[in-house]
Amino acid sequence: MSVAAQDPVVVVEDLAVRYGLREVLTGVTLSVAPGEVHVVVGGSGCGKSTLLKAIVGLVQPTRGEVSLLGVCQRTADEPEWQQVLRRTGVLFQGGALINSLSLADNVALPIRECAPELPEAVVAEMVAMKLAMVGLSHAVHLNPPQLSGGMKKRAALARAMALDPTVLFCDEPSAGLDPVTAADLDRLLLDLRDRFGMAVVVVTHELASIEQIADRITMLVAGKVIVSGAKRQVMEAKVAEVRAFFDRENTPRDRGDPSVLAALCGKERA
């Protein structure tokens, strides 16, 4: 069955999220197909990370619905939603590894939490496989402070893949990495997608990563979707905010247009 004929693995409909009096997402609608890399882009503070958190249930929406793997977050009971989450993986911004634990124990955490009945020998074998998958077999006994930035991201990716997810969520995976290391991580994400057939949702503002990994793109400006579609369709859209984001060499008029700058920063015009 082709990807297009299958049901979406993520559906977001008219989603709104508010922090106090500030609405950071407004009317967001998107869907993610099985096996695709769907990249959510936009400037800093536009609501990208909040959207990811809302999809996996870390923040509660004030309006709208999220369905993950066919299960509606709003109507699912706690055991049902936990079963859904076990079929997902999350690569958090910064990695979120526990510094006092070895890489082996970091990767083992979700396995032990979700399958406490597994013998430790089986857990150890699963952990070894995941670390080998990201090229860290040699670092199994190291702790996160002993690793480079790129190694930390790969270790966090191994942990996110620990339960063989159907959907992998990545929040700014290449942030803080040099261009060569970031490109290596992008290639690793694509390789894992191809090997395991999972969908990947990536939040980023890194133009090189967007170009390399995206199948489809959703762009947020000030908490709203302004364009969503196939990569080329979005990147070539004749929309001021899109051009300001993707074009490195804008005209002086583009660079100085206060409406474009205000929108990209999520601010109201004075």
pLDDT digits (tens, 9 = 90+) for 89-120: 999 887 889 999 999 999 999 999 888 898 99
% residues pLDDT > 90 (the chain): 63
Average per-residue pLDDT for the chain: 86
First to last CA, the chain: 52
For the chain, what are the domain ranges? 1-87+166-236, 100-164
Q: Which residues pair with 229 in a beta bridge?
A: 217
The confidence score (pLDDT) of residue 248 equals 61
Q: What are phi and psi of 190, to 5 degrees?
A: -65, -40
**Which helix H or strand E contains 169, and what residues bound it?**
strand 167-171
The confidence score (pLDDT) of residue 101 equals 92
Average pLDDT over residues 204-227: 92
Render the burial of 160-189: b for 16+ CB within 10 Å, e for the rest. Answer: bbbbebbbbbbbbbbbebeeebbebbbebb
The pTM of the full predicted model, rounded to 2 decimals, is 0.86
**Which helix H or strand E contains 263, and what residues bound it?**
helix 258-264
Give the C-alpha separation, 62 to 5, whole Å. 31
The confidence score (pLDDT) of residue 252 equals 40
Residues 1-87+166-236: name the CATH superfamily. P-loop containing nucleotide triphosphate hydrolases (3.40.50.300)
Average pLDDT over residues 38-48: 89
Average pLDDT over residues 119-145: 92
**Could you tell me how many residues make up the chain?**
270
Q: With contact defined as beta carbons under 8 Å apart, do 164 and 193 qualify?
A: no
The confidence score (pLDDT) of residue 4 equals 43
